[in-house]
A and B are shown apart, each in its own frame.
Chain A
Amino acid sequence: MELAIFLILSMIGIASALNILIQRHPIYSALSLILTFLSLAGIYIQMQAEFIAVMQVVIYTGAIMVLFVFVIMLLNVKAEERVPNKLIGMRYVGIPLSLLLVTALGLNIFQSFSGQTLRVSDVSTSGLTGNTQSIGKLLYTQYTLPFEVTSILLLVGIVGAIIMAKKEL
């Protein structure tokens, strides 16, 4: 049962990820990316990481991708024309190289997790129920500095966006 759900979710994820590349119209690519995110969220739920799953949906699907879709629609981007590919030789270099990358990454991941199932709840600090509490606890104790640095980075991003949008303040 668990395996079947995982297989269905991962197949949807992979198919929609491929669809991002195959589709010629940017809207369809963006919508496929949303489907990929949703299936990833499903896999997170299966790993009992509900908090990460929901955050994935809220932040990536509900906020960031809406902006993507917004921009694509506002710019009224049409479907891309198939242009004759001048760099035809790149295909013969690119395919082996990307296969090599996938194998290297896959082997690495497989070796570090082989024979053990990883659940996010195992990583949790002791005495806390649910992974929301453990993530919160870890973020505000062990990883306070990276957390704060990230928020400053986001603040810089916001200020930068305002400066770019409003040249004369």
Chain B
Amino acid sequence: MLLFYILFPLFVALGITIVSSKIRREFLGWIAFSVPVVLFALFARHIPTISSSEAIRTTFSWIPSYGIDLTFLLDGLSLIFVLLITGVGALVILYSIYYLSSKDSFAHFYTYLLLFMTAMLGVVLSDNIIVLYVFWEFTSISSFLLIAFWFHRKNSRNGAIKSLLITMSGGFTMLAGFLMLHVMTDSFSLRVILAELPQLTDHTLFYPAMALLLIGAFTKSAQFPFHIWLPDAMEAPTPVSAYLHSATMVKAGIYLIARFTPGFGGDVYWFWVITCVGLVTLFWGSFNAVRQNDLKALLAFSTISQLGLIMTLLGIGSAGINPAIGEAKGLYTFALFTALFHLVNHSTFKGSLFMVVGIVDHQVGTRDLRRLGGLMRFLPFTFLLAMIGSFAMAGLPFFNGFLSKEMFLTAVLSIGDLPIYGGAQVGWLLVLVAWLASVFTFVYSMILVFRTFTGRPIVDEEYKVPQEASLGMLIPPGILGVLAIGLFFFPNLLSDYLLKPAVEVLVEDGAALAPKIYAWHGFNTELFLTLGIITLGIVAYLLLRKWRPYYQYIPSNWTFNTLFRSTLSGYERLGERVTMRYMNGNLPSYFLYIFSFFIIVMWTTWWIVGPINVTFDSPSSMTVYEGLLAVVMAAAAIAILFAHSRLTAILLNGVLGFSIAIFFVFFRAPDLALTQLVIEAVTTILFLVCFNYLPEWKVEKLSITKKVRNGLIAIAGGLTVTIVGLAVNNYTKFESISSFYENSYELAGGRNIVNAILGDFRAFDTMLEGLVLFIAGIGVFTLIRMRQKKGAEPRENQ
């Protein structure tokens, strides 16, 4: 059943591709819209079951031989995510029907979007980590396709490839981490792994696996310093940004970390790495959001920052898993609970804000803050929605953001009380960072609303007089806005049905330990911090003109973005330089490589496994004639190097060949000697015949260093081969198979062993060598024929 839920969008996507040319484009949108609506209803049906802490499971086989099965599990944690995926998905698709222009390809858009929906559902429902990884990569791919939806724009293509590179690198590292988990637990099932992990903290792969997993999660959820892809991903159509790059896909990393909290949580590194990365991201995102002029870029950094906030909460909350935590467990379960609460809240207000920005862009034609202002009177409803979203994001009362922001402050304050990990010493610093980040958050939220909608109206002929957006574009953000307010007044409804069952998945007794949410908890530190944020935020916003210009003094080439770009282009340049350097297409260099490599590996071998035994005592002693002949051959070979004409070289080469024939005579192999003589005679004669047609013999001009180098390599190469030859020479442990052939007359009816071997025992070799000659003949024939035709075939075809 779950598999059907997951694949449903995919099937519809395929259907859309097939029928796209036959039906009206808007209709495609409505078909696509029906998918998440139906799925939302189907998933919502399970809320009662899941809230009583049960889970739904289905299994199908895929590669059972290696334990890779399609097992899906719907529990409290997954439920929150699937409802977000389908709920926000429905709203976004509805919105997009009115947002896309008539020039855009609806079929492609909805195909990708539904593909993404399947992938994302798969990620949060898979129990098998390999299947999870499969879907994980599919979210990256569909995101890649959606960012490049307007692929004719260069920025879209660049943004797409950048996000693909970063998230997929993370995916591959995560896969390596998953495989380590498999090696540790011998299972691909999340449940099994999570159950066994706490006992495996001493395993050598425990920390490597954790690190790789975290990199995967951080890249996906745009955590510092991997956040750089998210602003560039804003080249995507706005509905996509609202859906993938704010509400769902970027939360996959958060899902992963939440999912693995029962396994890794309770470890000190897990706690500090996630908390610190989260806090740095929170701060860095909000700090940078303030300087943006593009509304979508502002929202992108704001998303980064908010993801950091959720991450921080997950980090803090992981302390609750540690058994040493004792009484304080409730306090840290509180952090996990808040993480999930804020996750939902963020989706509501950020989703609506993206849609608002989309409306502005759509109706006005720009989203550049410097050219916007006073839109309130033209777009009153949009303004209202923008206010709701921004105030919720800033953490003002009467919006859901207020609740989770207060709870976040509580959680950060609780680090100071941490009995383990040495949290008490640095707790105040973390509070300060979180507080500062919140001030920045407040400021950019105000920028978003007031810079866009208040102030002087724009009088620019370039733009049409903006009109309020159509109902279809207002309803989806409207629903999210109503939710943002509704959750402030009835938070415990959400808590009881969705959040508590999810916390139960993360921590034992989580549901019991989860707090009841109150808007008012008296005059405590959190409230004063919030008041401070608002006060300082208002002051900072009013004085914005005074301090915002200082941003430009931050060196622009010291960012991670520059680092990424220069690494990539540097890598390409380096690759080109290195490659061109050794791939010079020069035959002598090739030999240099072969022989140097050969010599190096051989001597390395002897260096490592110890020298090999070289003996000079031969079973048969060498005669004077043999010695003389060897000297002659050596002399001839060396002389070739110094030959000044081709004729000399050929004749010297002949000397070598004929000497080998004489050796055969010495070793009483007359047939071989005869063959060798014939071959030598023929080749030498052929050479001489061709002589006339060959170009001038050119002596290579080489510098003396190169000559010495080449000479040394040649000598070392010869020496190496000789040493091995001497070493293997005396090895007589086994009887050679040749003794079998000595019986050739009885076996094969031939008195001559060589003939019997060639013609019978190993006739197959002989036949194939015949084939080799035959093919060589064909080759020569084609080349000659081509020459007769003067020149080559033109290659018009490939």
Do A and B associate with each other? no
